[in-house]
A = this chain, B = another copy of it.
């Protein structure tokens, strides 16, 4: 039995190729849209991809299962568990075999058994992997978003992201029961999870790539909670806001993701096309580092720096229904990386990109650049008047754990939808924890006509490190619950 792990750092997402060297067959679990990586691995391992499956209907990236199965002629296997409307809608059309709890299939001499593990999603499966050539018991469970190293998959996405009201408490109870069942597995069973640290599919994932049932039994908080109600309370508390694009992803992955078929580098636009784009209200995303953007950018553009969080914030802020444009520093930034990060979450409408010559041309034509001024923590602390308005764009759990006393909480993901609550006549200071999200937030405000926007140097981290006053909520409560 051979095993190959694929990890996408932008999504913190893991796929697995599990093959049988003796028969040359192989299975891919949870492929994303970059199917070339699995094809290349199969080539180098000298196996053929004969089976493709996934643990559940993913919310955070476009599934590559359908395309990979079609491209390889492999059998597609999809969960038949869960209820309408959250069952695979394209399974029949794609000729998939449906899997129910307890079903198993062979990949050469490797046996794969499906186990229904609802909680994160209703149809969720995990896969027990047994190398029948050398063993009679499973060596590992491919757990998807059920059990992570150090955490479990959040059960609130269906409600919060897909908008199915009133489901998260039931889902949390399902998760609890799935977990009790999982705890009967032997200590030595390895856990090969679907995500690592950085994913929005949980709240406390470890960067350690794999673990065991026995180790998680000792050190994973969720295994230690014996009371169902307590578990429900704890698992729902402090979950990060799910990105808005999760709703689209779940629907796309349920109804049948389209085929990507490889991507081409985006076309480069001439510098003098930028004014026209902005005049037509096109979305232009400046990929440069926040400091570059702050030092001078074209008014109307927004800043989503091309760093490790790019996928997440692009998913929050870029619509699926319109063309958009990129602006980047061609010398130091990897445009292919941006194009792939967008494609992985289904944002296929990159209509072109501009180089920094577009900024220079803007300026050379006598049009002013906009900057994002910095306000120091000292200046902010010293300013006891009503102004400026301090906007904290961090997540709910960060806010609850402590915030600047007079700040207003507007999580970055929600900001675009709540601009109507804010006055354009008031100075605004935006901050987050360190500065990354504040930069995006400030750019959003500026692009919507707020002209008195600054960002707080060092963010809340600096504020706190300097010993300035911090306000805390009395009792952190799970979002969507009223305090008990």
Contacts and interface: CB of A to CB of B under 8 A. Distances in A.
A139 B3 contact: no
Majority-rule SS of A interface residues: loop
Contact of A44 (B36, B48, B329, B330): B330
Interface string A2-35: 1100000000000000000100110000000001
A295 B306 contact: no
Interface string A36-55: 10011011101111100000
Interface string A122-154: 000000000100111101000000000010000
Interface stretch (A93-101, A160-168, A286-294, A418-426): A286-294
Interface string A423-467: 000000000001000000000000000000000011001100110
A268 B207 contact: no
Contact of A188 (B212, B265, B291, B333): B212
Interface stretch (A213-221, A250-258, A277-285, A476-484): A213-221
A363 B376 CA distance: 13
Nearest to A2: B207
B366 A49 contact: no
B330 A208 contact: no
A270 B295 CA distance: 29
Contacts of A190: 190, 210-212, 215
Contact of A187 (B46, B48, B214, B329): B214
A180 interface: no
B289 A332 contact: yes
Nearest to A295: B291
A102 B74 CA distance: 51
A44 B335 CA distance: 11
A319 interface: no
B261 A134 contact: no
A330 B134 contact: no
Contacts of A150: 134
Interface in A90-110: none
Contacts of A208: 1-3, 131, 139
